[in-house]
Amino acid sequence: MIKHYYWPTPNGHKTAIMLEEVELESELYPINILAGDQFHPDFIAISPNHRIPTIIDLDGPQEAPYTVFESGAILLYLAEKTGKLIPSDIAGRNETVQWLMFQMANVGPMFGQNGYFQGYCPEDVPVAKKRYQDISNKLYGVMDQRLSAVEYLAGQDYSIADIATYPWILPKQREMHRIDISEYPNVARWCKAIGKRPAVQRGLNLMSDSMKVGNPTKETYNNLFGPSQLLK
């Protein structure tokens, strides 16, 4: 049994999709980041950076409960636990990890900054909007070139690299990031293929009405971006 601490953000979608794909039994524990649930001491005890998602595997190593935070680490843990969605050979595994790290180090942080300045920042900062939109387009170009040669990001097989990246390229994300997907036909093809997967659809539907994109209230802004982020 996996305890799944979750809210429907792009990072949260990763673990929701992954749990559906590997068919592990899980129990949902919503962490309402809009209301500040992420700052509760009980949650910080299992997620030191007060971010979702986090899991507790009640059947972890040595048959004892085991906590994993950070979405990329969770994907790796679940892939290795189940033997699914990551190759067993060294070269294939490393290729998958490289593209997973590409998402964690580039797509997530840069798309996140783009989204902040486009949809959340209380001030209009044109230079920041342009900078992060330009970087986002550059990263789309990297993915489009890669996907012109292979079916999925890590090669010919669907993997955790795709699960990590896909939630950041959903229509609502593209709209906020001011991305024209028609300029990236290989990414568009990849998105369409992944979006047809039943496990992906089930994962995205989890609490799908709960997360609001852009135009935050003062309380929501504070909980997502304000002084509350500074843990004492």
Q: How many residues does the chain have?
A: 232
* Number of continuous H segments (helices) and E segments (strands) in the chain: 11, 4
Q: Residue 72: its pLDDT value, please?
A: 97
Placement of tokens 């509350």 in the chain:
228
User: How far, in whole angstroms, is CA 66 from its chain's centroid?
Assistant: 21
Q: Give the chain's end-to-end CA distance (angstroms, integer).
A: 33
Judged against a pLDDT cut of 80, whether residue 229 lies above it is answered with no
CA dihedral (226, 31, 98, 135) in degrees, to 10, reads -30
Q: Specify the DSSP element, H or E, that contains 54.
A: strand 54-57
SS3 content of the chain, % helix, strand, coil (to 5): 60, 10, 30
Q: Residue 231: its pLDDT value, please?
A: 62
- Other C-beta atoms lying within 10 Å of the C-beta of residue 113: 18
User: How far, in whole angstroms, is CA 36 from its chain's centroid?
Assistant: 19
Q: Where are the domains of the chain?
A: 2-84+208-229, 90-195
The correct answer on CATH 1.20.200.10 for the domain covering 90-195 is: no
Q: Mind listing the pLDDT tens digit for each residue in 81-121? A: 999 999 999 999 999 999 999 999 999 999 999 999 998 99
Cα atoms in the Cβ-side hemisphere of radius 13 Å centred on 147: 24
Q: Which fold has domain 2-84+208-229?
A: Glutaredoxin (3.40.30)
Q: Residue 227: its pLDDT value, please?
A: 73
From CA 132, how far away is CA 18, in angstroms rounded?
Answer: 28
Q: Mind listing the pLDDT tens digit for each residue in 130-167? A: 999 999 999 999 999 999 999 999 999 999 999 999 99
Query: Rounded to 5 degrees, what angle do the CA atoms 184, 190, 193 make?
Result: 140
Q: Mind listing the pLDDT tens digit for each residue in 184-228? A: 999 999 999 999 999 999 999 998 877 766 667 888 888 888 776
Residue type, 18: M
Q: Residue 218: its pLDDT value, please?
A: 81
